[in-house]
Chain A
């Protein structure tokens, strides 16, 4: 088990199966969901999906980095990064499903 990689296509296939819309419309809906979530995050909002998890944007301060190969110092500019905190339900199901794997 495991190792397989799912894509948008698999998600739209699930929507097609579950809800009975056309494949084309199912694909568009998957895209809209991802787009609305991305747009909210870009606006700096936290996206909280109950029983799935929370996406939040964190501001990282500027710091001096180092090229590990050359040892050269390089400035790292302040930036925004996205973090995902899985819900308890997700953690429990992922732990249970992969137990002994």
Chain B
């Protein structure tokens, strides 16, 4: 499923909404999640999963092609943990 198919499904269920509004609704939801993580916040969607930010410490990395050492700075990366209900549903338990 890609974004446009998701938008189409929501549009089909909501014939009273303009297609462009459905697109805005879907974009707003994903945009809001990214904005929250960019502030360092968590987004917890019970039954689906939780988005959070993990810190990766600075380390000395190596250029795999040249073998040269490079200093890699500390950075923050997005992380997703699947919710219990979805995990169970994936395994036919709910």
Which chain A residues have a beta carbon within 8 Å of chain B's beta carbons? 1-8, 10-11, 14-15, 18-19, 21, 26, 29-30, 32-34, 36-38, 40-42, 45-53, 55, 57, 79-82, 84, 86, 89-91, 93-99, 101
A-B pair number, CB within 8 angstroms: 161
CB distance from A12 to the nearest CB of B (A): 9
**Cβ contact within 8 Å between B77 and A33:** no
CB distance from B44 to the nearest CB of A (A): 5
**Cβ contact within 8 Å between B2 and A98:** no
Complex Cα distance, B82 from A47, in Å, reads: 14
**Cβ contact within 8 Å between B10 and A36:** yes
**Cβ contact within 8 Å between B38 and A15:** no
